[in-house]
Amino acid sequence: MLIAAARIITACGAGSGGPPVLAPGYVTWADGRITAVGAGQPPAKPDLQLHDGVLVPGFVDLQVNGYFGVELAAADFTGWLTVARRLAETGTTAFMPTVITSPLDEMAEALRRAAEYHAKLADGSQGARVLGVHAEGPFISPVRPGAHNPEWIANPDPAAIEALIAAGGGNLRMVTLAPERDGALAAIKQLTAAGVVVSVGHSDATAQQVSAAARCGATMVTHLFNAQRPMHHREPGVVGQALADSRLTSSLIADLHHVSGQVAAIAFVAAPGRICLITDAAACAGMPPGAYVLGGEPIELSEGDGTPPVRSDGTIAGSALRMDSAVANTVATGLGISEAVTAGTRIPADLIGRSDLGRIAPAAAADLTWLSDDLRTIATWVGGEQVFGPHLS
């Protein structure tokens, strides 16, 4: 397959050997892998010519609680398949199903089911690739629970950590925890030794405690600014340490409701190359206003314009965000389109060790999204197969 495009954003990093933007450019692939990327006119007649918009890597979303009416923690395989197939509508080609704080035995059971589903959906042959599971909790701070039920928060003791690792069967890929909890630093070492990415989140930690977490192996901060100790000029808190510490990459919910555009812009300036976009989408995403569920408890979506759902007390509970909208919103804050796309593609892929995803480069997976000039998804390919959009030829 040979595609020529008016503009291609490769999302390749420094030292990758290629420019981040090709205008025009072309991409070829075979057997699901990119074989060549070049600037200018293609070497042969293209199979597909994209005269407008921009061709980008497929988006990589590290926090998806649910979508299209499906709560992934409770869903059967049919529900997971629905989400995997339809996420391509938003430009997402790889995602991390997320389970939030619940009783430990229920989280373990959700991880066991997820391990079974992951085996069927990891290769992208049925839609967006499943990257493993993100457990957001239950080892979080009761001071910063957000939409999590404080009654289900648990201590990160070695037995509890091992129970989740074992239940995941190698598919537990990320854990968000609060590093100030007793036993948390040992838990970070235990998790990272098992190949799990550890993220600081739902935390009232001081900057010093966050730094200690990074020394123990934590590499991420979950939804920067939300449900964490804010930055103060005498105590930088989670936010200040996240922005200043080169060991940490922060996820950001760019719906412009969780975090204002001005503050999001500050984050990108303060931590260039260390912000990745996520949706934190709940079951209401892609659905009309109404009643839905997050973490087994009710949420309400009152508007359909990207406004996030809330608990009965008004607490924001996940989002209704699309990844293409997250990129568009980030560009609207003043970030360059290449940097915004990279925040939704290569940066999250690199964070979880998937150098085959999130970039348009030789040997990478042929996971691609064609965006309109207003950055809305027109067509999506996973492993070189078109999975969304009009028939193109």
| Residues carrying an active site annotation | 280
What token pair was written down for 89? 């509508």
> Cα–Cα distance between 32 and 363 in angstroms, integer?
9
Residue 127: CB partners within 8 Å, gap ≥ 6? 81, 83, 84, 85, 86, 87, 88, 121, 382, 387
Residue 143 vs residues 49, 147, 254, 301: alpha-carbon distances, Å: 54, 12, 24, 25
